[in-house]
Chains A and B, each alone.
Chain A
Amino acid sequence: MSDISSHRGSSSLLVADARTKRRNAAEARFRSYGVAAIAIALIALVTLLISIFGNGASAFRQTFVTVPITLPAETLDPSGNRDPAEMAKVTTIGYGNVLKAGVTAAVREAGVVPEGMADSDIAGILSQEAPAQLRAMVLENPELIGTTVETHVLAHGRIDGFFKGRVTMESAQRDSNVTPERLQLAQAMTEKGLMSSGFNWGFVTMPDASDQRPEAAGLGVAILGSLFMMFVVVLLSLPIGVAASVYLEEFAPKNRWTDVIEVNISNLAAVPSIVFGILGLAIFINFAHLPQSAPIVGGLVLTLMTLPRIIIPARAALRAVPPSIRDAALGVGASRMQTVFHHVLPLAAPGILTGMIIGLAQALGETAPLLLIGMVAFVRDYPGGLFDPASALPVQVYNWTQRSDPAFVERASGAIIVLLVFLICMNAIAIILRRRFERRW
């Protein structure tokens, strides 16, 4: 008679037999693989964050020149009637001269100018954007004309780079945009309090700027454009996505047609996003003649791209609602629609919302389709609505990484930080909404 217990090696429970040891070793190995995998992921994440924040954090600080400037009425308002339309005829060249004179006088007076430095050279510490800043300030507030005002304008990008360690005396020797004298002047001005660095609100409010003035480049237009697009995406994809998934999951008959639709939704979720860009270009711009670079088109394209990515998790969430709840509702005589809207949908809502927010986050970070519908254009005017040209955050990042001036490296990383902040906010909203819905039970 063969006894199965005779196959057991050791009979004592205190001594592990070979088989048990092998099993335990296998489990220990598997656990260490898991720990290693998580460690690799964490290291990658930390490296990514360090490199982004290391490069991008400085974009939120900017060097400013603060000097008293006298605003002569004869050059800035030749007609003398303080009429904004008349005053607007004075261009930034006029303001540039005023600024140049003011700054030169101020630094000469402070006695910080290195020996032998020409007046024309001194003004080079200012950003090319500075005259425009002064002009905007005066046009907004015409009473300033004829007085001397403490003016706060951007320093040149190379000066800013000097304080951030990007520009050195040696590199300035070879640089046509800056001279070592200007750097010495900047150093001396800082000691006298004429130059300082502060939080750069302009980075999140100002529009993009040209290659020559990285110090003035901001994300204002891109943020607005992205917000407008997300508005369109939420407005369209939430109702359409939820309606489609509820219909398919709860009402549609299970036949060949719904199978075809189901397969196609899964396929659409896997279609490369640039294909949606081509589709958007062909349909919304070439056929429907919607304006190029407009958030409405971007929003529509992103809606198309996001819909399958919302429908799939929404259907999964609906499927996860226990059938006993449907039975219970139908059993007391609820109609199918009452069953869905009173019981199934509220239970599936956290899952649907999570899928929705993840879909939106993907849409927010999507670049490729926007390139095709013209959102890559250089836009300096703030969009006033859905049909005005705008940029978008990820496209702005793409744009800035292509610029030659090294100052744009920090701008691009800074823009990524802003994008990440938006994504974190959206995830936080998702978590809060989930909690809200779940707290009901």
Chain B
Amino acid sequence: MNDMRIAERDVSTSETKIAARGVQVHYGTTHALKDVDIDILNGNVTAFIGPSGCGKSTFLRCLNRMNDTIAAAKVTGSIKLDGEDIYDAKVDPVQLRAKVGMVFQKPNPFPKSIYDNVAYGPKIHGLTRSKAELDNVVETSLKKAALWNEVKDRLHSPGTGLSGGQQQRLCIARAVATSPEVLLMDEPCSALDPIATAQVEELIDELRGQFAVVIVTHSMQQAARVSQKTAFFHLGNLVEFGETGQIFTNPRDPRTESYISGRIG
């Protein structure tokens, strides 16, 4: 693992954005996530790593209540966003998801134009008052997603006609268009080629200045490249959570060491 570039290690802030305490997830009779405590910090990229089926994606989907769409999933424990419990009965998941954006594993643009893809979020949340304002939001979002230069001449052609990497950046633009406070990314690069992956990773690094970014990844190199904090999940347990540099160079738990050195997983 000598090629691993551990770039910016400084955890730039200690301000907690999301605080999860004692989170348990059951899918029917399966206990998918056991007693997870974690603090997601503002302005940082937090990576979740671990073998397949370890519960990292499940936990990510708890953070914006996407697990609500799975009837069998039951979440207990507390997850607080800025001190407010997001599983409180009074919380509308729709409002929550406007604050906590999500990018999925497979690029999933709407079968609409590039413009409509990005404009959809601001439109349904009523974030803009005029067409000009909306145009502006679309442009800045596409610029943030480093896609503007490639698509500015064909904003009204279908988003599904873009290449895989472009589609994923379009999905990122769509997610940032609602000005979220947290951006969740579920293996955003697993369907992309190395060049597109590099672009998206660069993007993630830029975005962390504005949001707390949480990324689930299978690639330890990617976790090392983009994140400041890393959480290692195994069999539904949060095994270790700490600064990325420490996790990769000096893991405290033997299981973490086995995983990052390739013995389990």
Bound complex: CA A441 to CA B109 (Å): 12
Interface of A is mostly: helix
- Check B104 against A333 for contact (C-beta < 8 Å): no
Partner of A342, one of B103, B120, B171, B178: B120
Bound complex: CA A330 to CA B110 (Å): 12
Q: Contacts A324-B104, A328-B108, A333-B124 hold; do A254 and B94 have CB atoms under 8 A apart?
A: no
User: CB of A263 within 8 A of chain B?
Assistant: no
User: CB of A253 within 8 A of chain B?
Assistant: yes
Partner of A330, one of B97, B109, B178: B97
Q: Separation in Å of the B22 CB from the closest CB of chain A?
A: 26
Identify which of B63-71, B80-88, B131-139, B147-155 touches chain A. B63-71
* Residue of B with least CB distance to A327: B104
Q: Separation in Å of the B195 CB from the closest CB of chain A?
A: 23
What residues of chain A lie closer than 8 Å to B104, measured between beta carbons?
324, 327-328, 331
- Check A332 against B69 for contact (C-beta < 8 Å): no
- Check B71 against A253 for contact (C-beta < 8 Å): yes
What residues of chain B lie closer than 8 Å to A334, measured between beta carbons?
94, 120, 124
Bound complex: CA A327 to CA B95 (Å): 15
User: CB of B98 within 8 A of chain A?
Assistant: yes
Bound complex: CA A441 to CA B177 (Å): 23
User: CB of A82 within 8 A of chain B?
Assistant: no
Bound complex: CA A347 to CA B108 (Å): 14
Bound complex: CA A253 to CA B97 (Å): 22
What residues of chain A lie closer than 8 Å to B197, measured between beta carbons?
none
- Check A333 against B178 for contact (C-beta < 8 Å): yes
What residues of chain B lie closer than 8 Å to A47, measured between beta carbons?
none
Q: How large is the interface on B (under 10, 10 to 19, 20 to 34, 35 or more residues)?
A: 20 to 34
Q: How large is the interface on A (under 10, 10 to 19, 20 to 34, 35 or more residues)?
A: 20 to 34
- Check A343 against B98 for contact (C-beta < 8 Å): no
Q: Mark A186-205, 1 if CB is under 8 A from B, else 0.
A: 00000000000000000000
Q: Contacts A338-B124, A441-B111, A441-B160 hold; do A328 and B94 have CB atoms under 8 A apart?
A: no
User: CB of B125 within 8 A of chain A?
Assistant: yes
Bound complex: CA A329 to CA B94 (Å): 10
Q: Contacts A324-B108, A342-B120, A441-B111 hold; do A331 and B71 have CB atoms under 8 A apart?
A: no
List residues 226-267 of chain A with CB under 8 A from any CB of chain B. Answer: 253-254
| B-binding residues in A (CB < 8 A) | 253-254, 322, 324-335, 338, 342-343, 347, 440-441
